């Protein structure tokens, strides 16, 4: 089974049928034999990004769908993950990586993931392969 990381870019594109990456995100998210790992931090970023849009009312049902999915695993927020992300964030002043990105990179490393469902070039800068 292929295991990949799901970033906010991917989930937002999946939710938004008007997003130029929607069809690709939907197809990649629906692919058989693929397990997606994401984090509470990523889902927080998705909710924040869609807070002032027409998609706001779709966010909670979507997150609940992910929580009950057999193909999506959500790494819970914790002090340890936050500390790991802050440590990376503090050492990479040369990059425009968000704290959520830094936490995602740490999760990907800990889970030995190389591929991310995203179009965010920061993942490529951090040494990962982006799939969108």
The residue segments making up the domain with residue 67 are 2-130
pLDDT in tens, 82-114: 999 999 999 999 999 999 999 999 999 999 999
Residue 11: give its domain's CATH number. 3.40.50.1010
Element (H, E) at 117: strand 115-117
Domain total in the chain: 1
Beta bridge partners of 2: 34
Dist. CA 1–CA 16, nearest whole Å:
27
Q: In angstroms, how far is the first alpha carbon of the chain from the final one?
A: 19
pTM equals 0.94
pLDDT in tens, 3-20: 999 999 999 999 999 999
Task: Spell out the residues 6+ positions from residue 95 whose beta carbon is closer than 8 angstroms to its own.
Answer: 122, 125
């Amino acid at each position: 089974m292929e295991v990949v990381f799901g970033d906010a870019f991917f989930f937002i594109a999946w939710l938004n049928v008007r997003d130029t990456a929607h069809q690709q995100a939907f197809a990649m998210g629906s692919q058989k034999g693929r397990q997606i790992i994401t984090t509470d931090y990523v889902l927080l970023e998705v909710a924040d990004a869609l807070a002032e849009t027409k998609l706001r009312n779709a966010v909670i049902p979507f997150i609940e769908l992910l929580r009950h999915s057999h193909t999506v695993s959500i790494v819970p927020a914790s002090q340890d993950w936050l500390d790991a992300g802050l440590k990376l964030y503090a050492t990479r002043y040369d990059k425009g990586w968000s704290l959520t990105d830094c936490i995602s990179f740490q999760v990907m490393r800990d889970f030995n993931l190389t591929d991310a469902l995203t179009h965010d070039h920061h993942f490529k800068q951090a040494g990962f392969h982006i799939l969108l």
